[in-house]
Amino acid sequence: MPFDPDLFLPVSREDMARRGWDHYDFLLITGDAYVDHPSFGPAIIGRILEAEGYRVAVLAQPDWRSAEPFSALGRPRLGVLIGAGNIDSMVAHYTAARKRRHDDAYSPGRRAGLRPDHATVVYSNRVREAFGDIPIIIGGLEASLRRFAHYDYWEDKVRRSVLFDSQADILTYGMGEAATLEIAARLASGTPVEEIADVRGTCIIGRYPGVCAYPRVEVPSFEEVSASKTAYARANMAEYQEHDAVSGRAIVQRHGDRFLIVNPPAFPLSTAELDRVAELPYVREPHPMYDELGGVPAIEEVRFSVAHNRGCFGACNFCSLAFHQGRTISCRSHESVIREVELLTRHPGFKGYIHDVGGPSATFRRPSCQKQLKSGMCRNRACLAPEPCPNLDADHTDYMLLLRKLREIPKVKKVFIRSGIRFDYLMKDPSGEFFTDLVQHHISGQLKVAPEHCVAHTLDYMGKPHIQVYEKFREKYFKLNRRYGKDQYLVPYLISSHPGCTLEDAVQLAEWLNRQGHMPEQVQDFYPTPGTLATCMWYTGIDPRTMEPVFVPKTPHDKALQRALMQWRKPQNRALVLEALRRTGREDLIGYGKRCLVRPDKPAKGAAHSPSPSKDQPKKSRGPRSDSRTRMEKKEGPARPVRKAGWARPKKKK
């Protein structure tokens, strides 16, 4: 739909001329298309600077093959802010199998290739060519996760901190509003960029570690972590433990004759500060210059969604959230969220449905415990896994009351939750009242949760609860669905080939799925993204929490075997499944019984016939239904759910 371009931040000299600007303060460069919505980091940074009186222009997805496009808007007065986009540019470009993606939801018309690999580095170097010694500040998810020397999965090597390769002056990490505003204020006051060394939530390069203004700890150098996987694991664990605004110290890491200095994290925004950021005058749409190019598909998931919180103390080892937003929760007020939903109801495309009220994990609206506020997060203890901490505060009342208020807003028909729900956290809620509300009002046909695996030691490597917690959750979920006459489904997310998962574990997962009558339509291979503990395990073969060895399925064939076991009924996977079962000595799963995964090979022509199946293996038995998906999930309209393990009524106890 058309919008007035002047409602957006300027993207051209013509836009600036219409505003009467003869200069501007900051150039904001992003690897995504320009979408003025609070789910997009560059939009937030641009709007908070504008609210403080700075003039900001946006350069989205510039052609990086020369420096000329970077000077198209002229030289900014104070500096250049650079981000690769909402996700790491390498993740945007490549699958877990390192194959090039064919589309990009953050680009107009899903067109791939509009940003370079390692976009933060490339953009920053082009800005240096265009403007020389202008202050350059890099930020966003890519810079945040690559702030230390880090393993790069796509190049299969340890790279230096992105601050060195980019030639930038300052790196902001985490949610960078506070750091960006402080840097901007100092630049505006005339402070040279090289003297801005003590802002929390930032990294700088120094010739001496003494430049650091905070208590500090030194981790193994870039040269050490490149040469020694043990050193890499030690460094990664220290970096993870110090990522806490209350208890975290600064971290120093030598790179050659210079030092990377990572100041402690910025404090999370208060409720009032987060309300202000969320309610800045966003257009909440892609810039109209993309209309003829097919728009920007990424807006569709968030156009009628509301982010009410930040941070995640779930601390899954394969997730980058803890290393970016941190484990401390901050949330918006009820009044602020209500105002945003009321605004959405006036959108011409609104049809009565709020698609999500969530965040990193939808139900987190309070600290994990009171100790966290005073002393920070525990260094060697997770809040939820493998067992919930005795101090965990799992009261869901505040979130439940917020959702009830949103349901009462005129023109709102339904309020759904699509962000991740930690089922283990939900099961610890003392009242259980929110679970009832969830089933009755907030599920759009199916609920997606993430047990990830079923084998205990694999789940321990993932940082997830053991499968019994999920099974209890599933039982209660379907019990509530039956009570309220709901035909709603449960879709478990699973990961194959995670560090610590052996082929035997993958067979056990296939057995478990077979018992549930469920075969995933899509399978997610573990994806080693920069900075996470699981990526450290994948690269080093060491669990950084214990410094003990961990098995890692690395070869394409090993990963193909594990992936095939999760989709054992697909004909194209038959040979791989047979190989996996024979390699693990599990030929008992080759046969005709309900617990078997595949049938035996047919005898060759002329060979003696196999004996007929016994009564325990009836001739026409096919085991459980071939797929737990319903016609609804196949987009064929609603249907009665398949009677499977989760749906069967429990037998009465004698």
- What does the pLDDT read at residue 419? 86
Buried b (16+ CB within 10 A) or exposed e, 285-307: bbbbebeeeebbbbbeebbbbbb
Summarize pLDDT for 48-103 with one digit per residue, the tens: 999 999 999 999 999 999 999 999 999 999 999 999 999 999 999 999 999 999 99
Confidence class of residue 585 from pLDDT cuts 50, 70 and 90? very high
Question: Which CATH superfamily groups domain 5-204?
Answer: Cobalamin-binding domain (3.40.50.280)
Residue 583: band (very low, low, confident or very high) from pLDDT cuts 50, 70, 90? very high
Q: Which of 14-28, 119-133, 250-264, 636-650 has the lowest mean pLDDT?
A: 636-650
**Residue 351 DSSP class:** -
pLDDT per residue as tens digits for the range 352-378: 999 999 998 899 998 898 888 888 888
Angstrom distance (rounded) from CA 508 to CA 455: 7
Task: Flag whether pLDDT at 638 surpasses 60.
Answer: no
Band of pLDDT at residue 1, cut at 50, 70 and 90: low
CA distance 402 to 355: 15
Q: Distance (Å, rounded) from C-alpha 343 to C-alpha 431?
A: 32
Q: Report the pLDDT value the prediction gives residue 613, as an integer from 0 to 100.
A: 47
- Bigger pLDDT: 45 vs 322: 45
Span 415-431, average pLDDT: 93
* Residue 9 reports pLDDT greater than 60: yes
Query: Is the model's pLDDT at 630 over the cut of 80?
Result: no
- Residue ranges of domains in the chain: 5-204, 480-601+622-648
Question: In sequence order, which residues have a C-beta less than 8 Å from that of residue 179 and are 6 or more positions away?
Answer: 139, 172, 199, 200, 201, 202, 266
Note the pLDDT of residue 105: 96
Q: How far is CA 127 from the centre of its chain?
A: 29
Averaged pLDDT, 44-49:
98
pLDDT mean across residues, the chain: 91
Closest to 219 measured CA to CA, from 242, 235, 243: 235
Asked if residue 351 lies in contact with residue 268, where contact means CB atoms within 8 angstroms, the answer is: no
Q: What is the 3-state secondary structure (H, E, C) of 27-91?
A: EEEECCCCEECCCCHHHHHHHHHHHCCCCEEEEECCCCCCCHHHHCCCCCCCEEEEECCCCCHHH
| Residue-level pLDDT at 628 | 39
Structure tokens at 373: 């506020």
User: Which pTM was predicted?
Assistant: 0.90
Look at residue 323 and tell me whether its pLDDT is greater than 90: no
Predicted pLDDT at 34: 98
- Greater confidence, 342 or 516? 342
- Identify the three-state secondary structure at position 127: helix
Angle at 468 between CA 463 and CA 469, to 5 degrees: 65
Confidence of residue 604 (pLDDT cuts 50, 70, 90): low
The model's pLDDT over 218-247, given as tens digits with 9 standing for 90+, comes to 999 999 999 999 999 999 999 999 999 999
pLDDT classification of 2: cutoffs 50, 70, 90? low
| Residue 614 pLDDT | 42
pLDDT in tens, 446-468: 999 999 999 999 999 999 999 99
